Structure 1
């Protein structure tokens, strides 16, 4: 089989979408090295990383990179052109992973990864440019994709509710998994946590942006402190996202600047250390396609307090405390309770490790390869 696979978001600054495609291609190359793999450092006209691929981390007996483009304009001209499919060598499969979706392919089976449509649920969670670009790609997938890979049952249900014309038998749930393969890794303490005792901080991981709900989280934390909760600092591990220019002012208004540690972007080793040594992992996200910080924290035994919304219950199962992400009082009470109940904390830690073992990249890659086989055995989807 000749598999064309979008790796455009797998560069050094990769986030959730990039980790998904990075881990899947690595697992597929290990499971079935005999296929021919064409890996696309650029894909479409929505996302472009000029540094891709300075290094080629994916190697194999029949692995090829290209086409390479030095500018977004050059990439756009190639990918929207009618000759793109032929110039790529007519792959059996072309798998899109960065929201953009081609519509002109007539031979290759087009597989589209669908992450989420939070930008449809609440336009205030992102910028107009990102909202328009993402929705354009998802809309085009509903018209042109032969199959859709959804990263959770919640995402699948949402996709079909927005695009009820899409055939349900051509959308398949394939779960992401942790980026970390070594459960015994100890990681490296971030410099920002010098002086903070191991096991004596609350943790939140993720880009600081409206959808991740850090505004309410710090409000809950301030209330927790006001009610006499143990004064462990709250560590926010993640870069600053969009529409959060007032976040520092919000911390000042709450009077908790000194209790907040903002690490910025952290390395994988630092993230492992943060998960392994936190008192608990707090993840009050309003909307998720999956929720990797929940799973990855559980992998390293982080007791978890998280949202009961969208996909997160699929990830957390019965191994976390699930709450309404908009109910700050519930979050305050849960933090107060777990801060003094070490037995409950230890129980959540053990349950988290067991829950995380249900997600495995090799199983996900095997499911994806099976989908490719089904796609090749089926006619291309036609829109009436």
Structure 2
């Protein structure tokens, strides 16, 4: 097969979507080197990383790079042009990974990775520009994709609820996995935690934004402290997202600003240490396509308190305490119980390691390769490969869906 694969979000600043694409292409290159791979550093006009043309992390004689674009405008013109399939040498597969997808492929099978549709659930969770761009991409997939890869059963169900015309037998669930290959790694203590004892901090990993629900988490933490909880700091490891400009003011109003450590984006080594040495990993997200920090924390034995919403129960299984994300008092009570019960923390850690072992990039890549084979052997979707979206407006957005 000639496999065309979107790597536009796999640069140095990659987040959830980028890690998914990066890990899958790496695994496929190892498992199936007999195929020809064309990797696309830019893909469409929604997400653009100007540094991607200079990054080449995927080596091999069977690996080739598609057109490189140094500006969003040249990428937009190319990917929306009528001759794109011919210029790409008509790959058997074109796999879209960054929310945008082409609608003009006449023979190549279009595979579309669907992460989640949180932007369509609650406008307050993101910006108008991101919401419009994400929905435009998902809508295009509903028109033109030959197959959809959903990253959870919850995402699959949501997609079909939003687009009931899409054939249910052409959407497959392929789970993401941890970015960390070595579960025995000990990591490196972040300098910000030099004075914090091992096992004596709460951890939350993720971009600080409304959907990740850190506002309610700090409210629960304030209740935990007010009810006599051990004064362990709450460590927030993640970059600043959108619509949270007043978050620090909120900490002050709650009286917990001295106890909350916002350490920002951390390295992989630092993240491993944080997972391995926390009292518990707290993940109260309101909506997830998957919930990677839950799985990665479990990989390193973190006792886990997590939201019971959307896909998170699929990831956590029976190895976490699941709480409604809106239940602030429930979170506070669970923290109080876990902080004072070493046996329960140990039980959760053992269960977490076993649950994390169920997810494998090798298994996921094998599933994807099998899907490619089925797609090539199957007809395109009833001639819809030539369909166009009613309104193909150019998305002039600096940052797309990379924080998913």
So what's the TM-score if we normalise by structure 2? 0.94
- Displacement of 1:383 in angstroms is 5.8
Q: 1:372 corresponds to which residue?
A: 372
- Displacement of 1:61 in angstroms is 2.2
Name the SS for the 1:5 alignment partner.
strand
For structure 2, list consecutive stretches of 5 or more residues without a partner in the other structure. 385-404
Distance 1:381 1:58 in 2: 31
Distance 2:140 2:208 in 1: 29
- Displacement of 1:54 in angstroms is 1.9
Q: How does 1:194-273 map to 2 (within 5 A)?
A: 194-273=194-273
Q: How does 1:39-54 map to 2 (within 5 A)?
A: 39-54=39-54
Distance 1:272 1:382 in 2: 47
Distance 2:224 2:322 in 1: 18
CA contact (8 A) 1:200 1:232 kept: yes
Distance 2:182 2:102 in 1: 37
Q: 1:20 corresponds to which residue?
A: 20
Q: 1:186 corresponds to which residue?
A: 186
Q: 2:393 corresponds to which residue?
A: none
Q: 2:360 corresponds to which residue?
A: 360
Distance 1:52 1:66 in 2: 12
Q: Deviations over 1:102-147 (max 9, x none)?
A: 1001010000000000011101100000000000000010000000
Distance 1:173 1:344 in 2: 32
Q: 1:322 corresponds to which residue?
A: 322
Distance 2:265 2:380 in 1: 42
Name the SS for the 2:73 alignment partner.
helix
Q: Deviations over 1:149-178 (max 9, x none)?
A: 000000000000000000000000000000
Q: How does 1:94-133 map to 2 (within 5 A)?
A: 94-133=94-133
For structure 1, list consecutive stretches of 5 or more residues without a partner in the other structure. none
- Displacement of 1:65 in angstroms is 1.1
Cα RMSD (Å) = 0.7
Q: 2:299 corresponds to which residue?
A: 299
Q: 2:58 corresponds to which residue?
A: 58
How many equivalent pairs are there? Answer: 384
- Displacement of 1:308 in angstroms is 0.5
Q: 1:308 corresponds to which residue?
A: 308
Name the SS for the 1:273 alignment partner.
helix
Greater CA deviation, 196-205 or 47-56? Answer: 47-56
Distance 1:317 1:54 in 2: 40
Distance 2:226 2:271 in 1: 29
Q: Which has the higher contact order (CA 8 A, sep 6+)?
A: 2
CA contact (8 A) 1:91 1:108 kept: yes
Name the SS for the 1:257 alignment partner.
coil
CA contact (8 A) 1:102 1:140 kept: yes
CA contact (8 A) 2:101 2:140 kept: yes
CA contact (8 A) 1:176 1:361 kept: yes
CA contact (8 A) 1:143 1:383 kept: no
Greater CA deviation, 187-196 or 94-103? Answer: 187-196
> Structure 1 stretches (4+) deviating beyond 2 angstroms?
none
- Displacement of 1:382 in angstroms is 2.0
So what's the TM-score if we normalise by structure 1? 0.99
Distance 1:335 1:264 in 2: 23
Q: Deviations over 1:226-249 (max 9, x none)?
A: 000000000000000000000000
